[in-house]
Amino acid sequence: MRGKDLWSSLLDRRYVISVNRIRPHQGELTITDAGRLLHRQSVGLSYDAMFGPDIDDISHWQQLAVAFIDRLNHGR
């Protein structure tokens, strides 16, 4: 199931946040801006996301993305 798109969202009408399955119980979160990769990190998938992403995972991914974008925009 490598590369299966599990979840994506648009942040600030600019940044595309995506999570793809890379192996059982593990995904990869990416943040892009106009197609340019800004960030990539490994994230866990609760219950292997058998029936879709867990709501707590989504909340965690959103927090990671917002924190990264805030640091990027504020030069920290």
pTM of the shown model: 0.90
Instruction: Please count the structural domains in the chain.
Output: 1
Tens digit of pLDDT for each residue in 14-72?
Answer: 999 999 999 999 999 999 999 999 999 999 999 999 899 999 999 999 999 999 999 99
Question: How is 19-58 classified by DSSP, letter by letter?
Answer: EEEEETTEEEEEEEETTEEEEEEEEE-GGGGBTB--HHHH
Domain that holds residue 29: 5-74
